[in-house]
Structure 1
Amino acid sequence: MKKMKQMTAITMALIMALGLTACGNKNTTAPAASVPASEPAAAQTQEAVSEEPAPATADSGEKEVLEFYHAYFQDEATWHPAVVMREIYQAFADAHADGDVVFTPIPVEDLAPVYSNAIAAGSFPGMIDLAGTSLPSAAVAQKLVYDMKPYVDAEGIQEQLGLNYTQNDIDGAIYTVHDQLLTLGMWVNTDVLTSTGASAPDTWNSWDAFAEAMETVRTKGEADGIYSYGSGQGSVRMFNAALASTDKGAALLDGPITADGINSAEFEEAFKTVANMDQKNGSANSAVNANDFSADFNDGKSAVFVNGVWAAGGFADSTSFAPTVYPGNVALSSAGGGLTIANGLSEAQTELALEFIKYMTSEEVQTRIFLEVQANPCNPALDLEKLAASGDASVALLAKACSQCNNAGTIVRTIDAAWGSDIATAVQNKLTECSVSGADIDTIFAALKDELIALIG
């Protein structure tokens, strides 16, 4: 989606950092930057909330029950945003306690079996938060999920859905709405840039300018153990943004990848641009997960941290860390799968589920998601800078990061959201191969094209 600055900005911000396979060897002891609420894979590594009660039905008598499955199971000590989200859900349940339907939030550690098993049996959970994971196409094909677009249009709440209204439109229907966005730019250590004499982010108008800055960091900082950036997962994100730096490249991210797209000059140029930088940066600085580079970045051992806006909480106490968009004024932002309603519920259950969609995207709830969950809210009506004035330093940094991305000249979906995680994994793996000194980038790219064309059939 190409978006020019003069147009009204639509807000963006996790779910899921790409779960890709590559060779990583960065060992750190410092905790990774905060994980956004929309990253279920990360959430699943935490311990479940042991005190969370099982859904009760005895008090509901003859009332119908709307079960709502979500992945915010962590306790306060493990992950505070999960507690905030459960409070938000419970407030809705309490507000509708006297209604004809009992709203029952159910936290689970692993959402995938909840909906995949149901789909296999030809059904769907009453309501579920997919937490950024793409809505399975089988659920749509079997007409197992409810089209919310007529309700959204009738209520006039298109604007508060933000990117959901366009990115989650499937042939004129909206089956899922995510209350927060997976939004990614980059973070820079300004002290490292200054000490090595590298150019500042406001001069990175092209990928050539960025590459030159990274090479300066590498050559001038190498003696002090300083490297440019963490590649691997960071590389596939940079490829994503490099592809979007041209109109034709950005258009490829509007829908499924095709053989023509894979064979396009834009695809090749974006891949080789990042591959050449990665090779100079070195395979020792490559890892599966971008968070593996959090400690090095905080310790001043790298210049750029390729991660999402949610990372703001990881280094807000220092004035040397700042957010920036990708070269050419590009940002990545995906709504992804979110709140999804089953088809075939009773009229009363469906009415309550739709009311929950309106509630979760309201300014009141979106404000809590921004301030307390520290994620990029989907509702673009919020004045993030104004809200940040009432928060701490990390919230102010989050607001700056979100605002930069939300107002970028070009905003596109992440590759895994646009093309699928298998495509993103293949690209990341080949970029990792390119990071090895002496690797033949042309040969690796040719192999990637063959692999991708085989994947898409």
Structure 2
Amino acid sequence: MKKCLILLLMLLMCLSGCGTLSQSDEISIVLLHGWGTMEEDNQAMREIYSEFEKDNPDISLKLISMPSPENVTSKVKEMISVGKLPNLIYIGETGIDTLYSFMVTQGYVIDIMPYIEKDKEFQSMIAPETLMKWKTADGKLYTVTDVLNTGGYWYNKQIFENAKIQKTPENWKEFLECCKKIKQWAEQEKLDTVSMHLDYNTIECMMQSYIGGTDSDEKSISEALKLLNEIKDYADVEKNYTYRDRLRSFNVGHSAIYAGGIASEQKINPKLKMEYAMFPDKNNKDVAMVSAYPGYFIGSSSDTKQKEACIRFLKYMLSEKVQTKIWKKTGQIPSNPSVNIADLSGQNDVIYEAYAKLKKADIVRELPGNDWDFEQREDFEANIFRYLSGDISEDEIVDSLKSK
């Protein structure tokens, strides 16, 4: 009788153990990312990350959440210094000229291309923009992104109407006139409303639209600088502003124009009447700025099973289910070319209309962060506000840019 009971207990233990994983079978990976704030899009991205474990119960994903991409850069270097390189790292624009180059040249990240080449499903998920920008001359690919970044501007329709602006500016002359009308209306109504804040990122975005990169001819760069100098008379020059400062101002109706990507809509006051538009180039054609920034990297210290788990994570983030969720929850444009955003219209009509305008643009260009090199950006940022305050001339800025 005792033997029967023992055998029965052993059988029950075996059955209860079936379908579960022991800790030794579980693969553990760490993701370091910059979606660490309590903003809605940040919370949505962390939720999407956490759901990876539900679809992959044999993988444990630990998140190290930083409040910004800048913090990710410093955290990676700190972890490298103590020999604790994360298995996965997400950086974005901030790390293009610093972290990306450092990790690739020092061998801290692996080439993802061999995994892509042997997996047709994975191949179909990779954005052409990623391959065009980040595939090296010898065919290697160290990063994959799950979203495409965009550049243009949102404008407050109510302020435009109050200032008697009948339509969206179609050229730089009309844009300048628009800024002038907003200033005149605000002064007449004794309001502190401004047309826009000219911080560095806004200026850089406008320059990129006009000239299409710092390799443009000197005449075009000089023309763009003169235009900025005219606009500044009807705008608010803010050297130390961040995008959050501009966003706060736009949300309370203090500024009429906010330069940023389509995904910014998620952070804008839903009570505002607003529309999306694009800055024109020097020939007054609409310019859509679309870029694949560096996204996810796989750390070279990962073992074989961890690398395979990281690839599964990348495929999860690029899957149509997750890409659709990213679009719905954050307004970011899915990078997977198989995702048809037209099928998602009705989910968020404001964002969809902005995306439709982007697709109809006359010209598509990279965002400045993907197009200007590090020295040029540093040099331009150091000099542009000196120029706008009259301390240096156009020629001095042009000469300085061309010398880099």
TM-score by length of 2: 0.78
Structure 1 residues 57-101: Cα deviation after superposition (integer angstroms, max 9, x where no partner)? xx7337553222223334xxx333333323322322233333xx6
**Aligned partner of 2:75 among 114, 127, 133:** 114
TM-fit CA distance, 1:420? 4.5
Change (3 A) 1:355 1:122: same
Indicate which of 284, 292, 304 corresponds to 1:335: 292
Residues 172-321 of structure 1 aligned to structure 2 (within 5 Å): 172-201=139-168, 204=170, 206-224=171-189, 225=191, 226-233=193-200, 234-244=202-212, 252=213, 261=215, 264-278=218-232, 280-283=233-236, 288-313=241-266, 314-318=268-272, 320-321=273-274
Q: CA deviation at 1:371?
A: 1.0
The residue aligned with 2:100 is 136
Aligned residue in 1 for 2:370: 417
Report the secondary structure of 2:275's partner residue.
strand
Q: What are the within-5 Å matches in structure 2 for residues 346-385 of structure 1?
A: 346-385=303-342
Equivalent position to 2:393, from 426, 444, 447: 444
- The 3-state SS of whatever aligns with 2:110 is coil
Seen in structure 2, the aligned counterparts of structure 1 residues 120 and 332 have a Cα distance that, compared at 3 Å, is farther
Choose from 130, 133, 138 the match for 1:164. 130
Residue 127 and residue 315 in structure 1: after superposition, are their counterparts in 2 closer, same or farther (change >3 A)? same
Indicate the SS of the match to 1:60.
coil
**Structure 1 residues 160 and 62, CA gap change in structure 2 (3 angstroms):** closer
Change (3 A) 1:228 1:123: same
Could you say what secondary structure the match of 2:51 adopts?
helix
Structure-1 residue corresponding to 2:17: none
Distance 1:358 1:434 in 2: 47
Task: Find the counterpart in structure 2 of residue 104 from structure 1.
Answer: 62
Cα deviation digits, residues 19-65 of structure 1 (max 9, x gap): xxxxxxxxxxxxxxxxxxxxxxxxxxxxxxxxxxxxxxxx7337553
SS in structure 1 at match of 2:36: coil
Counterpart position of 1:80: 40
The one-letter code matched in structure 1 to 2:362 is: G
Secondary structure of 1:408's match? coil
The structure with higher relative contact order (CA 8 Å, sep 6+) is: 1
Q: How far apart, CA to CA, are the structure 1 residues paired with 2:80 and 2:217? A: 35
Q: Measured at CA, do residues 146 and 324 of structure 1 come closer, stay the same or move farther in structure 2, by a change above 3 Å?
A: same
Per the TM alignment, residue 176 of structure 1 is displaced from its structure 2 partner at its CA by 0.9
Structure 1 CA distance for aligned equivalents of residues 143 and 331 of structure 2: 22
**What corresponds to 1:155 in structure 2?**
119
Structure with greater Cα Rg: 2
Q: Distance in 2 between matches of 1:425 and 1:400?
A: 35
Q: Does 2:33 correspond to 1:70?
A: yes
Q: Answer yes or no: is the 8 Å Cα contact 2:107–2:300 preserved in 1.
A: yes
Q: Secondary structure at the match of 2:118?
A: helix
Q: Secondary structure at the match of 1:140?
A: helix
* Percent of aligned positions that are identical: 21
Structure 1 pair 323/97, CA: closer, same or farther in 2 (3 Å)?
A: same
Deviation at 1:365, TM superposition (A): 0.5
Evaluate the alpha carbon distance shift between residue 194 and residue 80 of structure 1 in structure 2; reply closer, same or farther with a 3 A threshold: closer
The residue aligned with 1:43 is none
Distance 1:80 1:211, change over 3 A: closer
Change over 3 Å in CA distance of 1:425–1:114 after alignment to 2: same
Contact 1:211 1:277 survives alignment (8 Å)? yes
Is the partner of 2:63 in helix, strand or coil? strand
In the alignment, the residues of structure 1 paired with residue 305 and residue 366 of structure 2 have an alpha-carbon distance, to the nearest angstrom, of 35
**Paired AA for residue 366 in structure 1:** Q
In 2, Cα distance between the equivalents of 1:60 and 1:446? 66
Partner Cα separation in structure 1 for residue 123 and residue 187 of structure 2: 51
Matched-pair contact (CA < 8 Å) for 1:229–1:302 = yes
Aligned-pair RMSD on alpha carbons? 3.2
Displacement after TM superposition at 1:408 (Å): 2.6
Deviation at residue 413 of structure 1 after TM alignment:
2.3
- Whether the 8 Å contact between 2:198 and 2:237 is mirrored in structure 1 is no
Instruction: List runs of 5+ in structure 1 lacking aligned partners.
Output: 1-58, 245-251
Letter in 1 for 2:308: E
TM-aligned CA distance change 1:302 to 1:105, over 3 Å: closer
Give me the whole-angstrom Cα distance separating, in 1, the residues matched to 2:221 and 2:337. 31
Q: TM-score, normalised by structure 1?
A: 0.70
**Aligned partner of residue 85 in structure 1, secondary structure:** helix
Give, in angstroms, the shift of residue 322 of structure 1.
0.8
Paired residue total: 367
Q: Verify the 8 A CA contact 2:198 2:238 in the aligned structure 1.
A: yes
Structure 2 distance, partners of 1:128, 1:315, is 31
Return 5+ residue gaps in structure 2 as ranges. Answer: 1-21
| Contact 1:283/1:435 (8 A) holds in 2 | no
